[in-house]
Amino acid sequence: MRIGLEVHVQLKTKSKLFCNCPTDPAEPNRNICPICLGFPGIRPFPNEEAILLAFKIAKALNCRILERCFFSRKSYFYPDMPKNYQITQYEAPIGVDGWVDIGKKIRIRRVHLEEDPARLVHPGGIGGSDHVLIDYNRAGVPLVEIVTEPDFEDVEEVKRFFKKLLSILLHLRAFDPLKCSIRCDVNISLGDTRVEVKNVTGLKHIERAIRYEILRQEKLLKEGKEVKRETRHFDEKTGLTTSLREKEFEDDYGYIFDPDLPIIEGIEVEIPELPDRMVERFVEEYGLKEEKAKAIAYEGPDFASFFEEVVKDFGKPEVVASWMLTHLLKCLNFNHMRLEDTSLTPKEFVEFLRAMEEERISERYAKEMIKEWVPSGKKVEEFLKEMVSEEELRRAVEEVLREHRKAVEDYKKGKKKALEFLIGQVLRRIGGRADVKKVRRLLEESIDLK
């Protein structure tokens, strides 16, 4: 089996590729201007930020950067294209002949920059509605297209590739997982015939589309039927692919150079430390297990540098990694937030870990606290204020000991379980706002004194 991908990544830029319209999500047809609508008489002007990001991506994917590259016009008539041609790159893309290491090398054929067409909305699904709505907000958003060779042999490799690609894009600050989308054309051939599944959006659906398409082709081959060379559509609702059109010839887009846009000289760009190198360093420097190092690095540069800042101050990389990867990350994901969107600082996180270490808060409380803390932006100090005072805690212990003499006796006779009961009683009284270890210690001390 051979699988090849054409990945379209929306870049994280302030404005569109050839005009000043913002790329932020908005009500339909708000982020538009004569340029991205292709008015007669307009000229595109290239967005340097997007060009720079494309060069960085090409470099990070180990591509050869061409000395000069340029934009071309790809012509075809479709209602999502304001000009009925797309400004893209053809003969001279930004980079060629790269690779990504996912345990094996996946070859990258080319990396190029292009403009996104408008978004078509089919209110009742494709084929199910009598009209189509067009949202031009997307028209002109910068896309980087990454074309791989057909080097994937199963869906797991595709998943590993996307994980790696995503982490690289995050480290280049080229992609915003909350605002930008990844779309993909997948070419799958089990036998000799290549089938293309067009325009699948999002990693989850890309995986589903591949799994289904493999099953479909396997079944046809097993039954001795022919797999047709065609382009198929993936339906997100049903999880099935359906035939869009049979493909006897390659599409003919009649490419010409775009004479409105100047030639781009290849630029030498600086790229930051990439995830692979970072993982090595984390293992080496902090003694982290590779899995944990990977998990941190793949979350992106802000998450990783947050980790490093906290460790610099607090030490104990394993503890920091555990707290960040389990509780902090879970909470961020639950709230659809990225660490960089919160007001959380490494200093505060250190304060938080320290409070736990010093038994000013219990672990159980800490886990609850983080859920409220992360999205609200409340200060750690405020949470600490809510913890019971030493005095209050001692009073609660005294009261519990007085009220449950039987349990105290049991404990003295050697029934260890009785102490657990007493701890529970104290915590109930103070609403959990104290560290368990501390409660245990106080109880033991008090009983011993009696």
Partner 1 sequence: MKLKRLNEKTNAFITLKEEVEEAELYFSIKDNICTKDMRTTAGSKMLYNYHPPFDATVVERIRGKGEILGKTSMDSWGFGTFGTNCDFGTPRNPWDLGRSPGGSSSGAAIVASALKERNVALAESTGGSISCPASFCNVFGLTPTYGLVSRWGLISYADSLDKIGLMARDLKDIALVMNYIVGGDERDPTSYQGRVPDYTRCFGEIRGLKVGVPKEYFEHVEEEVKEKVMDGISLLDSLGAEIREVSLKLTKYALASYYIIALSEASTNLARFCGLKYGLSAEMKGEFNEYFSKVRGSGFNQESKRRIILGTFARMAGYRGRYYLKALKVRRLIINEFKEIFSRCDLIAAPTMPILPPKFEEIEELEPIQVYAMDQLTVGPNLAGIPMLSVPIGFSRGLPVGLHLMADHFREDLLFRVGRAIQEHTNYWRKVPEL
Q: What is the dihedral of CA 59, 65, 68, 72, to 10 degrees?
A: -70
* Minimum CB distance to partner 1 smaller for 79 or for 123: 79
Least separation in angstroms between residue 253's CB and partner 1 is 8
Task: Say how far apart CA 207 and CA 200 lie, in whole Å.
Answer: 9
Q: What is the largest CA-CA distance in the chain?
A: 94
Closest approach, Cβ 50 to partner 1, in A, equals: 14
Kindly give the residue spans of alpha helices, DSSP state H, lying in 18-154.
Answer: 48-60
Nearer to partner 1, 85 or 365 (CB): 85
- According to DSSP, the residues that pair with 4 across neighbouring strands are 187
Shortest Å, Cβ 79 to partner 1 = 5
- Name the minimum Å distance from CB 11 to partner 1: 19
3-state secondary structure 123-152: CCCCCCCCCCEEEHHHCCCEEEEEEECCCE
Nearer to partner 1, 99 or 257 (CB): 257
Query: Least distance from C-beta 86 to partner 1, angstroms?
Result: 10
Burial 358-387 (b: 16+ CB within 10 A, else e): eebbbeebbeebbeebbbeeeebeebeeeb
**CB environment 304-316: b (16+ within 10 A), e (fewer):** bebbbbbbeebee
**How, if at all, do strands 241-246 and 256-257 pair?**
unpaired
Give contact residues for partner 1 (rule: CB under 8 A): 34, 37-46, 73, 75, 77-79, 82-85, 250, 252, 254-262
CB of 80 to partner 1, least distance (A): 10
H or E stretch at 186? strand 182-189
Nearer to partner 1, 77 or 416 (CB): 77
| Shortest separation between residue 73's beta carbon and partner 1, angstroms | 5
For the bound state, the minimum distance from the C-beta of residue 307 to partner 1, rounded and expressed in Å, comes to 43
- Cβ closest to partner 1, residue 34 vs residue 424: 34
**Beta-strand pair 142-148/105-115:** antiparallel
CB of 241 to partner 1, least distance (A): 22
Q: Which of 140, 183, 165 is nearest to 34 (CA)?
A: 140
Which residue type occupies 191?
A: G
Q: How far is the CB of 145 from partner 1 (least distance, A)?
A: 20
* Tokens representing residue 210 in the block: 């591949």
For residue 47, report the phi and psi dihedrals to the nearest 5 degrees.
Answer: -90, 110
- Identify which of 218, 211, 220 has the alpha carbon closest to the alpha carbon of residue 241: 211
| CB closer to partner 1, 72 vs 425 | 72
Smaller CB separation from partner 1, 218 or 260 = 260
Least gap, CB of 29 to partner 1 (angstroms): 12
Distance CA 348, CA 346 (A): 5
Instruction: State the pairing for strand pair 119-121/142-148.
Output: unpaired
**78 or 334: CB nearest partner 1:** 78
Q: Strands 195-201 and 133-135, how do they pair?
A: unpaired
SS3 content of the chain, % helix, strand, coil (to 5): 40, 20, 40
Is the CB of 40 or the CB of 224 nearer to partner 1? 40
- Cβ proximity to partner 1: between 83 and 294 the closer is 83
Q: Token match 């983080």: residue?
A: 370
Nearer to partner 1, 251 or 391 (CB): 251
265 in helix, strand or coil? strand
